[in-house]
Amino acid sequence: MELLPLLCLCLLTRSGITSAQQNRPAVIKVKGGTDVVLPCSLSTKENIEFKLFDWRKVAQKDDGQKKVFLYDGGSHYNNGLDGQSEEFKGRVSHFQDELKHGNASIIIRNTKVTDSGDYRCYFPHLQLPQTFTIKLVVGAASKPSVTLLDVTTFWALLQCEVNGNPKPKVELQDSDGNNLHAEVTQDSEREGSFYITLQTTVTKTGTYRCVATQEELKHQIHAETSVYISGEILPL
């Protein structure tokens, strides 16, 4: 009678999860057009070469659930298995050499903004079936690039460049966090990414910050630079 709970506990521990927690998915943010590895590993590191794992993209609003990658004991979408969703064809691979270590991670190449969403890696046939969830965000702006284009005794010309998709809101701020009036010198779209450049002239020594925000992705990132104005007119 006392054996049963013990056995259950043992099973639970044996099939523990490493890469992602069930309720709070790991978030991966990448720029559009890059490749991304979605992690999924069994903590038991058991060999899964002869097992089945299924990667799906959870349905967003109206589009249904998408079939991203299926591996079934050696057969998979890249060697003849049918059923992969059109948009993932030719872009997704597993890591064959990693399977013997319980690693079912996949790589998605040339990511698009529409790849953003929740992905599930599912092992339906384990003693305790397991699901891992990863949230992928494609198009997140990378760290802005802040440069000093010109520095004189009395002023400096500051530039900030950002790209991302959806279009980031870009702001230049002084050390007190006040938004500075800046000129937009570039606002263009290329290969699915928006490129924004701001310039402003500053006349005070200090630390300046460029902030890029993508509300839709709940993503904000900033970069700072220090400016020294030797001839700054200081208040008396």
Ligand X SMILES: *[C@@H]1O[C@H](CO)[C@@H](O)[C@H](O)[C@H]1NC(C)=O
Closest to ligand X by CB, 48 vs 113, is: 48
Sites for ligand X among residues 15-74 (CB under 6 A): 37, 39, 41
Instruction: Provide the minimum distance between the beta carbon of 105 and ligand X in the complex, in angstroms, as a whole number.
Output: 4
Q: Does 109 bind ligand X (CB under 6 A)?
A: no
Closest to ligand X by CB, 35 vs 187, is: 35
Q: Using alpha carbons only, how large is the chain's radius of gyration in Å?
A: 24
The residues, ordered by sequence, that sit 6+ positions from 33 with a Cβ below 8 Å of its Cβ are: 110, 111, 112, 191, 192, 193
- The Cα–Cα gap between 76 and 51 comes to 11
Which positions from 130 to 169 touch ligand X by CB under 6 A, shown as an x/- string?
A: ----------------------------------------
Closest to ligand X by CB, 39 vs 206, is: 39
Q: CA separation (Å) from 178 to 148, 151, 172, 181?
A: 19, 22, 8, 10
Number of residues counted as binding ligand X (CB under 6 A): 7
Name the residue with the smallest CB distance to ligand X: 103
Instruction: Provide the minimum distance between the beta carbon of 109 and ligand X in the complex, in angstroms, as a whole number.
Output: 13
Of 235, 185, 179, the C-alpha closest to 202 is 179
- In this chain, which of 35, 46, 63, 98 binds ligand X, going by CB under 6 A? 98
Q: Which residues bind ligand X (CB under 6 A)?
A: 37, 39, 41, 95, 98, 103, 105
